Amino acid sequence: MPHEPPTTARRARGRRAAPALMALLAALACAEERPASRPVVLLVAVASSLQGAIGEIEVEFERAHPGVDLRPTVLSSGAAHRQLLAGAPYQALVAADTIGPAALERAGRTEPGTRVAYARGGLALWLSNRLPGIDGRDGLAALASQRLHRLAIPNPEVAPYGRAALEVLQRAQSSGTQGTTIVRGEDAAHAAQLALAGADAALLPLSLALAPEMQRAGRAYPIPDSFYAPITHQLVLVRGASKHARAFHAFLTGTPGRRVLTRFGFRVP
């Protein structure tokens, strides 16, 4: 079928639209630029409960080790463990539990003697501002509230804080949480996102519940330690890790790392 030739006006409009779009693309691309220098890249897998702290750890570590570009990938401890077993190129696993680091060690995939506990995490009840008037100070009573329709928790299958959340829920069951739907996030970060998107409450790592975004939309209450088994965070270096990875290990378990972790609600050994 013959195609109607476009008028000159339409063509001109087309010619003007393309550069405008290109300019928009360029402007957006420049909005978040990185320095041009090329330091040594250090890839590490980081549990999502550390997502708030890792930004500061990155800044302080790179300040102390100028030649190194620390590139964290934030994911659930279970996913990190699975990816490392499949050959992902991370040099360190900063987990939120002991399962992944122990399994990697058993598989002979770690540097001997590098598996250490670097922090202990706390669980918090986060209550949305959409749900005023419930007091979160006694965690179990708030969980039993009839007005709590949707509660977000991390997936207990892969997220250590999900397992802790499940323990707390089982305890609360006796005081009755029948009317509440449990929404499972893929990991702690996803649970936090679900909480922001529309759950009334969430059981989250304290470190996440204290994040500015969460504080703006709700309030966090630490859950007493006695309600769940301790959440021990372990760190391990992957076999063949570089000297920079060792420096990162020393940084995280040393005074500077512990200072940052404490600020984000973790307890350090």
Partner 1 sequence: MIEPLLLTLKLATGTSIVLAAVGAPLAWALVKHRVPGRALWEAVLLLPLVLPPTVLGFYLLALLGDSGPLARYLGVRWAFTFEGILAASVLFNLPFALAAYRETFRAIPDDLLDTARTLGASRVRIARDVVLPLAWPGLLAGTVLVFAHSIGEFGVVLMVGGSIPGETRVLSIHLYELVQTLRFADAHRVAALTTALALALLLALRLTEHRWRSPTD
User: C-beta of 106: minimal distance to partner 1 in Å?
Assistant: 15
User: C-beta of 75: minimal distance to partner 1 in Å?
Assistant: 7
CB-based contact 260:57 (threshold 8 Å): yes
User: C-beta of 268: minimal distance to partner 1 in Å?
Assistant: 22
Instruction: Output 73 or 242, the one with its CB closest to partner 1.
Output: 73
User: C-beta of 41: minimal distance to partner 1 in Å?
Assistant: 7
CA distance 27 to 226: 52
Token readout for 69 is 């570009």
231-237 and 116-121 as β-strands: parallel, antiparallel, unpaired? antiparallel
CA distance 61 to 130: 39
Instruction: Output 140 or 211, the one with its CB closest to partner 1.
Output: 211
CB-based contact 208:188 (threshold 8 Å): yes
Report the amino acid identity of residue 111: E
CA distance 205 to 74: 15
User: C-beta of 184: minimal distance to partner 1 in Å?
Assistant: 15
68-75 and 201-205 as β-strands: parallel, antiparallel, unpaired? unpaired
Binding interface with partner 1 (CB under 8 A): 1-3, 5-6, 14, 17-18, 21-22, 24-25, 28-29, 31-34, 41, 43, 48, 51, 71, 73-75, 83, 85-89, 187, 189-190, 192-193, 196, 211, 213-214
User: C-beta of 73: minimal distance to partner 1 in Å?
Assistant: 5
Left, alpha or beta for 114 (phi > 0: left; psi -120 to 50: alpha)?
alpha
Instruction: Output 111 or 187, the one with its CB closest to partner 1.
Output: 187
40-47 and 92-94 as β-strands: parallel, antiparallel, unpaired? parallel
Instruction: Output 48 or 77, the one with its CB closest to partner 1.
Output: 48
Instruction: Output 140 or 203, the one with its CB closest to partner 1.
Output: 203
Instruction: Output 87 or 112, the one with its CB closest to partner 1.
Output: 87
